[in-house]
Amino acid sequence: MGIFQKLFQAKDQKARRQKFIAGMAKTRKAAIRSLKDVLITEKAIDEALFSKIEEIFIMADIGVDTVIRFIASLKDEVKKRKMTVPRDLEDVIVDQLFALYLNDEIVDTHIRFNEQGPTIILMVGVNGTGKTTSIGKLAYQLKAEGKSVMMAAADTFRAGAIDQLKIWGERVGCKVISKNPGADPSSVVFEAIRLAKQESCDVLLIDTAGRLQNKVNLMRELDKMNRTIQRELPNQIYETYLVIDATTGQNGLQQAKVFHEVTNISGIVLTKLDGTAKGGIVLAIRQELGIPISFVGLGEKITDLDYFDIEDYIYGLFADFFE
């Protein structure tokens, strides 16, 4: 039994386990299941086997650079243990991917709530990634945890974004601070923070525009909003979550790189993970950007935004190995 299995068996979260198993089904069926077949049918641990493993993980969208690093560490482990039977690699592969994500760090994916004053969560990302929907789902979850929540429609460039956030506000039961389309986004942020402080709100979720066509304008807008937050809430921690659509795979990773260049990203919200065979993008994001995955979307229901847990994710990815 591998290290990962021992760690996972110590947990007692069957509902979450089943959710990740169901959510990772497409990736598991498209790529990871074939890995099990390869390990059963191959007769020796050699370069041909490593090439097949490499191809399978690239298909899962783990990313070429990440896969190369993983294969190198796998070879080192095989050599150290003097392994010769392909089937014996199952536990080693799982443990190595688990270690690859953690990278010898303690990864805390939970929201850092301020003890005094509102906790600000700035949501950024390209339009169409599910950003506004994720804000609504996160608001619902936070309210279920007993938090008072307010939302701000700072994507003032699209009237549809303002209207969509208002619909979510009605659905969840949250006040939405907005202005007319075309208004200065930072003025919406300023007004929302003022009201959040006045009403002793626990969490303020801020929707932002996601235009990558002009990176300079994006940088200016985000910088101005950041300065507004820092001026109104000095010395307070706030989160900036980047929303990525998992179905876009490596394109999503490129988007993450652009936003990482223009603002300080504290976590990733990965949507539509259940709808893609490219679920390995989780590992690519973590390895190439060093940013933790904070939340994942595992379905369409309002309750289907979950805190990310690497143990649940790895188990969902390799569930066939543990049958």
Q: Is the pLDDT of residue 150 over 50?
A: yes
At residue 191, the pLDDT reads 97
Average pLDDT score over residue span 191-197: 96
In the chain, the percentage of residues whose pLDDT exceeds 70 is 92
CA distance 138 to 140: 5
Q: Is the pLDDT of residue 229 over 70?
A: yes
Structurally, at CATH architecture level, domain 12-105 sits in Up-down Bundle (1.20)
Region for 171 from its dihedrals, namely left if φ exceeds 0, alpha if ψ lies in -120 to 50, beta otherwise: alpha
Q: What is the mean pLDDT of residues 300-309?
A: 91
Model-wide pTM > 0.85: yes
How distant, in Å, are the alpha carbons of 90, 94, 166 from that of 2? 9, 8, 48
What angle is formed at CA 137 by the lines to CA 107 and CA 19, rounded to 5 degrees?
A: 60
Q: For the residues 163-187, what does the mean pLDDT come to?
A: 95
Is residue 117 a contact partner of residue 204, using CB atoms and an 8 Å limit? no
Q: What is the DSSP letter of 45?
A: -
pLDDT at 176: 97
Which of 50-54, 69-73, 132-136, 210-214 bottoms out in mean pLDDT, i.e. has the lowest?
Answer: 210-214
Task: Give the tens place of pLDDT for each residue, 35-44.
Answer: 989 999 999 9
Find out whether 120 and 206 touch, Cβ atoms under 8 Å: yes
The predicted structure's pLDDT at residue 4: 52
Per-residue pLDDT tens digits for 91-127: 899 988 888 888 766 667 789 999 888 999 999 998 8
Binned at pLDDT 50, 70 and 90, residue 212 comes out as low
Helix (H, G, I), strand (E, B) or coil at 210: coil
Q: Where are the alpha helices (DSSP H) in the chain?
A: 3-9, 14-23, 25-27, 33-41, 47-59, 64-81, 89-102, 131-144, 159-172, 185-198, 215-232, 250-262, 281-289, 310-317
Domain coordinates in residue numbering, the chain: 12-105, 119-317
Q: How far apart are CA 39 and CA 59, in angstroms?
A: 17
What is the arithmetic mean of pLDDT over 281-307? 90
Looking at residue 227, what is its pLDDT?
A: 94
**Average pLDDT value for residue range 270-286:** 89
Q: Are 240 and 124 in contact (CB under 8 A)?
A: yes
- Residue 264 or residue 169, greater confidence: 169
- Collapsing DSSP to helix, strand or coil, 62 comes out as coil
Beta carbons of 123 and 147 less than 8 angstroms apart: no
Q: What is the pLDDT of residue 7?
A: 47
pLDDT at 6: 52
Note the CATH architecture for domain 119-317.
3-Layer(aba) Sandwich (3.40)
The encoded tokens of residue 215 equal 């990176």
